[in-house]
Amino acid sequence: MDHTAPSCDEIETLAHEVVAKLPHAFRGRAQQVAIRVAEFADDDTLAEMEMEPFDLTGLYEGVPLTEKSSFDQPMGPDTVWLFRRPILDEWAERGNVTIAELVAHVTVHEFAHHFGWSDDDIAAIDEWWS
């Protein structure tokens, strides 16, 4: 198992590979969402979410498809953010998943928000965090 910490660019590449493997019904819509990787979420985001820097591995920023209207004026592109350092921290803590598996999990979780799923909806079928 490779224990080398990937760069932001490598994590972004892994996330794009995940999107490319989504089922056809979701792939096209997902490919319209920007994927960005940063070391951590910015201070304003962390304060708004009342979270510590290492607690936030990913974030969907945009209007979920279930809430979009053709009358909406876009404020910016929908974006899935992945936060490298918290992802690496969780990877090291878990020790039982590859970095690709963890990035895939966080990426799919954030895209679920894009498709209109709440955290409770995701938790009902996702046993990852148990």
Q: Tell me, yes or no, whether 128 lies in a domain.
A: no
Give residue 28's domain range.
Answer: 8-64+77-121
Q: Tell me, yes or no, whether 114 lies in a domain.
A: yes
Q: Tell me, yes or no, whether 32 lies in a domain.
A: yes
Q: Tell me, yes or no, whether 129 lies in a domain.
A: no
Q: Tell me, yes or no, whether 130 lies in a domain.
A: no
Residue where the block lists tokens 């498709």: 115
Residue where the block lists tokens 């803590």: 93
- Count: domains in the chain: 1
Q: What is the mean pLDDT of residues 93-118?
A: 91
pLDDT above 70 covers a percentage of the chain that reads 91
Q: Tell me, yes or no, whether 13 lies in a domain.
A: yes
| CATH label of the domain that carries residue 27 | 3.30.2010.20
Q: Tell me, yes or no, whether 2 lies in a domain.
A: no
Q: Between 27 and 67, whose confidence is greater?
A: 27
The edge-to-edge listing of strands for the beta sheet with 79-83 is 34-38, 79-83, 58-61
